[in-house]
Every structure is written in structure tokens, then in C-alpha cells.
Amino acid sequence: MRDRTVRTRPAAALALLTAAAAVLGGGGPSGAAPATGQAARQATAPQAVQQEQQEQAEPCDIYTSVPPSTQDGPAVKAIKAKRSLVIGVDQNSYRWGARNPNTGQIEGFDIDLARAIGAAVIGDPDKVVLKPVATADRVDAIKGGRVDLIVRTMTINCDRMKDVAFSKPYFNISQRVLVPKASTAKGIDDAIKDRTVCAAKGSTASTVLAAKNTARQVVTVENHLDCLVLMQLGKIDATMTDDGLAASQAAQDQTVRVVDGEVQPEVIGVAMLKTSPDLTARVNQVLADYYAGGAWRLSYEHWLKPYMLNEADHYWPVPH
Amino acid sequence: MPAPRPPAARPAPRGLRGRLARATRTAPGRLRLAGAVLAVLTVAFGGLTAWQLETRAQAAERVVSYSQPLSQAAADIHRSLADADTTAATGFLLAGAEPKGVRDRYEQDLAKAAKLIADAAARTTATSPAQGSLTRLNQQLPVYSGLVESARADNRQGIPLGGAYLRYASEQMQTVLLPAAAELSATENGELANDYAAAKSVPWAAYGLAVITLGALLWVQLTLFRRTNRVFNPGLLGATAAVLAGGLWLTVTGLTASAALKQSDREGATPLRALNTARVDVLTARLAENLNFVARGSTGKYADQWTKATDHLSGDAPKDAPADRQAGSLPEALRLAPPQARSAVDDARAQYGVWYDRHGAARKLEIDAADYQGALDATVTATDAPTTADSAFNATDQALAQAAVVEQQRFQAAAKDVDTDLRAAAGAAAVLGLVAAAAALRGLGRRLAEYR
């Protein structure tokens, strides 16, 4: 019975996706600049350049994953047998996955998705074990079998695709720059040229800053939030980080703003073992349902909308 | 005084040598000269001994009331700051549920550090190398507490930025404040070592002069005995007795003072230094444990820091190895502890073992079972449950504090009267020197009178 209803959803989801893609391809409402496909190429020149660079650097297709399915393969059966699904999450990214110190619960956009996956795969959201995983430890946690899945703003790229399997992407992300509200910077280049700019160690942002090489000084820190501390203390002029984390910083400090423009568009997805395609297919099914059923949008509106620059549609990845 | 002579017979007497030659040509002249030499020697003996003992008394006084307290104050500054940092992290983890006791402890730590810094600054001269460390401590302490308050405010609003602030504050503590405190400690320990050395140094010059004076007295008496066949000259005998008494007093006081200072060093100052190191290591380990939870699994840095701190604390030797074979600051503190403090340090070691095991269990919960909240609850709770890692840490810390009190008492008991003893001996030596001079002059005066 349950399977039947689920199986009818992909069609609906596909229809919706196509419709959304059509709208987006047409330029999007309210003049927003979607980061994907054609639309991004129509955007400002530096962005287009970035987009092309990225495409050259990515010989693989980050939008490719196994087709959605509700079949229980060996991996899904094993998870059902042990009656628990261990999902690696973040507990430091405000509004994405963060521990609320007053309730002790981890909450956020990624956590909603993790629980939805858990509920769909083993039928009980309480059987989901949320396990905090460090950024640098994500791939090892999967390969070592310490977690079944990673839902933790994990960027899909070709390097990582060699090590782990990704679901279809569930969010568009790009690099943004935060400045104090008092700053007069108009765009990204303006905001970082000859300034002291902060980025997290090993992040995409630090790579982008190194490639641009226009900042006076790049300060790298352990965690992106350390940049906000330094900005509040007046030790840096700007911070580059992805829009999810930029949103989370803006949410924590009313006196900083995200400047217009974005670079290095990427997508994020759910990661898991390469040897369990049935689990990947199952997660893809959940993602399709999650989006089609409106839960993705609801979660976006609850956690992220107040702090993001664009409407929800801008962030749902559409293959090009 | 000399009889006039024809200048042609002899060249005119010139200078001291000539006068001496003329003076010693007659028996009364020689007696007068002997009297003058003996008077000068005995007075010089008294004066030199008094002066040498007085400088040692001053050094001993500096040890007791200046350099040892300052060295301990520097260690207390270091420990209070480390404790403040650790306690701030504990309070942070408990957020809204932070008990009053934790808040109070943090505030007391800061108040104590600030007071000790002010005291130390008041007692330090402008040219002392300690001045630089004290200035840095003075400047950075308010900056640190500001950062902690930002962290606390953010945390109470439930935003993760608080954690970043706390880690930043802790970084400032560990890279600026604690090194300054360690530098201050090193400077003060150096001063203490200098004062100890000055107080314990042997007054060789006084001993030497005592021997020379006694020798001179004996020689004069022997010569008189040969010339006059009188066995005893009461005045010279009295002078000899006075110099002997002075020399004896000097020897006894010198030896007892040195022994007392050595004891104060062995049972007080040295074990205290080892204990202070262990206490700071304990706090560093506890801080790493806390920060690991503050960082919420975003970095493995603090787990490494815990391993490093505990290695420094208890060595990486197997836990069942005999205590005296183990490396690390805690076994070292136990080895150096005086018998009176040993049970407290041993207790600390046992509590540390409990803490270490509880930490391991909590870590297992956090990593293997992914139970962050469970691990946090096993580490620190608002209700002060006796089964947490935090309570075992507190027991360790308290046992070490108890040992520190005992060792400070041992130091005081051993060293407190040394300077008054040395000063009494100095006074006695001065008086005895004068007495000896007077007696010698009187004794020779009797002989001289026989020539009139």
C-alpha cells in the first residue's frame, strides 16, 4: 500500500521539476540570478567565467546519480535489520545543523532532511541516530562504516565522487561575501580587493580567494564562525563562505550583510558508500518525494528564508 | 715618640715602614703594635661576621617574605587564569542551567588573578624583567573576560557563534595570558633561586678572619709566655674566648640556617613547584575536555590536546607501573612531596585515575554511540552529580590544593625563623668582636704598664 503511493510520486515530482526548470530557464521571477545552467551564463560576466572554470575542472557529472527506487536492496535490508540508521550531521552550522544549547537538540534544514530520510527508510524518525561528524572527517566516516549517510552541506565534486556515492543534489550553493553593514562595498570583487578577508581552512572559499589573489591578506581559520568573531572584533574586513553558511552568519549578527553576487556555484548532496547503490536509489526517491511533497520548501522557509538572498526556487538544483 | 737621633747616622725615617721599624725596636713598642693589630683584627672579625650574617639574614628574609611568596603568587596567577578558562567552558556547556557555584568560581578566579597581578606589580621594581609579563597580563585580562561575556551572551540566545567566541577567548588565554603568566613564574622562580643561594652561601671570609684572629691571639700569648714566663694573660684569654664564642656562634647558626633553608626548599618550595605544574596540567586537560564539547565535533584538535595534557600529566607509561617509575608531572609531584603531603597527592592521583576512566567512557559514548548529549551529561552536569568526569576532576584539583597548603606550611615552618637567627648571630658577633678587642687591649695594657 505504502509502496504504491510512493511509486506514484516520482511522476508528479518530475512534472514539477520540469515546470520549475522551465520557469527558471526563462529567467526566473523577481530578477533573481539562478546559479544553474543557462541562467547562470546569462548572469554577470565574472560569474559566467567562474561557471566555465568550474565546468572545465569537472570532467564528471555532479548531477548524475542512480535513479530513484523504493526497492529494498541488501544495504537497505541491513539497515532495517539493525533497526537504526546512523546519519552524520553537523552541529555547528546555524539553521543547517546546529545544537540548540537550551534544548540539547540538533536542528536545522539538513536535520529535517536527515529525519525525513530516516522516517522513509526505517519507518520511524526516532530510530535515526544523528552523529556529529567533523568537516574533514566526512569521507572517512562513511568509508569506515561509522555512519550510513552524511547529510551535512557536503559539496558534490569529482574528487569526492571517487571515494563516496552521492544522491542527486538537493541544494544549490555558491560562494558569497559578508561585510559589516557599514561597508560601502557593492560587489564581491569590490569587497575583497585590498582587504583582509577571512575563510575557513580547506574550504572552497579559501581556494577561490587564493585563485583571485586580490585580497591584501587572507586569514584562514578552523571554523567559518571564527571569521564572524574576527569580524565583530574588527580584525577582518570581509568573509567569504558559501551562501548557506553566509546566511547562518547573517542570522547571528544583524550588523553584517551579504554583498550582491556569487562565485563558484556548486551543489550539495547526501553522501554514502559507493557499494550500496540501492541505498542511494532509496535516498534519491526520498529526495524526490521530499521536494515534490513541499517539505523541502517548507523546511527552507522555516530555517533559511529569513537569511537567504533569493527565493527557494533559486536553490533547488536542476540538471543542465 | 721616637728619640731624636743624629740625621747623619741614619737616613731620616720615611713612611710607615720606617715608623714600624722604629716602633718594634723596643719591647713596649712591640706590645703597642700587637695591641693595635689585635684590636683591629677582633673588631674586623666582629664587623665582617656581622655584615656577612646580616646579608644572609636579608636574603633569608627575602626568601620567606618576598621571593617565595612572589613565586607562589606567580604560580597562583597562572593557575587562577587556567582555572578561569576551564570554568568558563564548563559554564558555557551548561548554558542557561549554569549553577551559581560555577559562575562564582569563574569570578573568584578572575578576581584572584587581578589581585595577585596588582600585588605582584606593586612589589616589582620598574627594571625587573617581571614587569613586561605583568603589563601584558594587566592589559589582556579584561580583553579575555570581555570575550567570555560575548560567548556567554551569544550562547544564551542559542546561537553557535558563542562557541566560536569561547574558543577564541580560550585561544587568547592559551597563547597570550598563560605564556605571560608562565614567564612571570620563571622570572620569580629565578629570583627565588638567587635568594636561596645568597642565603645559603657559606660566609668563608668570616671563617677565615676568625682563624686569623685566633692565630694572632695565640701567637701573641705564646710570645708573651716565652718572654715573661707568665702562663696566662687574663685579658688575652678573654679575647680568645670571645672570638672563639663568636666563631662557634657563626658556625652553628650558619649550619642550622643552611639546613633549615635546604629543608624549606626540599619540603616546600621545590615540591610546590612540581605541584603547581601538575595542577596546571590538570586544568589544561579539563579545558581540552570541555572545549571538545564546545566545538561539538567540528574538530579533533581538542581530543589531541587532551591526550597531550594527560601525557604530560601522567606520562605514557603503563598505568600499573610503580609510581616512582612513571614520568609526568603528577608522579613527579608525588615523588617530591614531603611525607605530610604525600597522602593528599596520592589521593589526587587516584581521583585522576577515576577521571581518566570516566573521560574514556564519555568519549566512547560520543564517538561510538554518537550520543553527544549522553557524553556531555557524563562529563558535566548542572546538579553536580558525583559520577561525572567533572566531579572526579574537582576531587583531583581539591586534593592537589590540599597538598599545596601542606607544602606551603612546611616551607613556612622550616624557613620562618632563619632570618631572625641569622640576625641574632650577626649582633652577637659584633658585640663579641668589641668585647674581644677591649679584653685584648686591657690584657696588653697590663704588660705595658710594667715598663713604666
Chain B positions contacting chain A at CB under 8 Å are 95-96, 150, 154-155, 158-165, 167-168, 295-301, 370, 372-373, 376
Chain A residues touching B162 at Cβ < 8 A: 101
Residue B240 clears pLDDT 90, i.e. is over it: yes
Instruction: Give the residue extent of every domain in chain A.
Output: 173-264
Beta-carbon separation of B168 and A225 below 8 A: no
What pLDDT is recorded for position B320?
Answer: 58
The residue that leads in pLDDT, A12 or B234, is: B234
What pLDDT is recorded for position A99?
Answer: 81
Beta-carbon separation of A132 and B95 below 8 A: no
Cα–Cα dist B28/B445, whole Å: 10
Beta-carbon separation of B300 and A137 below 8 A: yes
- Is the distance from CB of B426 to CB of B49 less than 8 angstroms? yes
User: B276: pLDDT confidence band, cut at 50, 70 and 90?
Assistant: very high
Task: List pLDDT tens digits, range B288-317.
Answer: 999 998 887 777 789 999 999 999 998 765
Cα–Cα dist B88/B294, whole Å: 11
Chain A residues touching B158 at Cβ < 8 A: 100-102
Beta-carbon separation of B296 and A91 below 8 A: yes
Instruction: Give the residue extent of every domain in chain B.
Output: 27-70+192-449
What pLDDT is recorded for position B440?
Answer: 92
Chain B residues touching A252 at Cβ < 8 A: 154, 159-161
The type of residue at B126 is A
Across-strand partners of A98? Answer: A92, A107
Chain A residues touching B298 at Cβ < 8 A: 90-92, 132, 134-135, 222-223
Q: How far is B303 from chain A (nearest CA, A)?
A: 12
Beta-carbon separation of B95 and A135 below 8 A: no
User: What sign results for the dihedral spanned by CA atoms B258, B262, B268, B270?
Assistant: positive
Beta-carbon separation of B161 and A253 below 8 A: yes
Contacting residues for B171 by C-beta, under 8 A, at least 6 apart: none
DSSP string, A169-227: --EEEEEEEEEETT----BHHHHHTTSEEEEETTSHHHHHHHHH--SSEEEEESSHHHH
| CATH architecture for the domain at A173-264 | 3-Layer(aba) Sandwich (3.40)
Q: Mutation test of the interface with chain A: which of B92, B154, B161, choosing the one with the most A Cβ atoms within 10 A?
A: B161
Q: How far is B115 from chain A (nearest CA, A)?
A: 27
Residue B179 clears pLDDT 90, i.e. is over it: yes
Q: Report phi then psi at B438, rounded to 5.
A: -60, -45
Q: Does A140 touch chain B (CB under 8 A)?
A: no
Chain B residues touching A90 at Cβ < 8 A: 298
Beta-carbon separation of A134 and B300 below 8 A: yes
Give the chain B residue whose CA is nearest to the CA of A144.
Answer: B368
What pLDDT is recorded for position B323?
Answer: 55
What pLDDT is recorded for position A277?
Answer: 92
- ipTM for the whole complex: 0.72
pLDDT tens string, chain A, 320 residues long: the values are 344 444 444 444 444 444 444 444 333 333 333 333 333 334 344 444 444 444 445 578 888 888 888 888 899 899 888 888 999 998 878 889 888 877 778 899 999 999 999 999 888 777 888 888 877 778 888 999 889 999 998 889 888 899 999 999 999 989 999 999 999 998 999 999 999 999 988 788 888 999 999 999 999 988 888 999 999 999 999 999 988 888 888 888 989 999 988 888 889 999 999 999 999 999 999 999 999 999 999 999 999 888 787 888 889 998 76
Q: Does A135 touch chain B (CB under 8 A)?
A: yes
Chain B residues touching A225 at Cβ < 8 A: 160-161, 163-164
Q: Does A134 touch chain B (CB under 8 A)?
A: yes
Q: Mean pLDDT over residues B177-199, rounded?
A: 93
Q: Name the range with the highest mean pLDDT among A58-67, B150-159, B426-435, B437-446.
A: B426-435
What is the rounded average pLDDT for all residues in chain B? 88
Beta-carbon separation of B164 and A131 below 8 A: no
| B354 alpha-carbon distance from chain centroid | 33
Residue B59 clears pLDDT 80, i.e. is over it: yes
Q: Report phi then psi at B315, rounded to 5.
A: 75, 170
Q: Mean pLDDT over residues B311-330, rounded?
A: 72
User: Between A and B, how many CB-CB pairs are < 8 A?
Assistant: 80
Task: List pLDDT tens digits, range B399-418.
Answer: 999 999 999 999 999 998 89
Question: Would you state the cell numbers that stand for residue A257, as one nine-digit string?
Answer: 550583510
Chain A residues touching B299 at Cβ < 8 A: 134, 136, 222-223
% pLDDT > 90, chain B:
66
- What H or E segment, with its residue span, contains residue B304? helix B301-314
Q: Report phi then psi at B312, rounded to 5.
A: -65, -35
| A187 alpha-carbon distance from chain centroid | 23
Task: List pLDDT tens digits, range B363-384.
Answer: 998 877 777 888 988 998 888 7
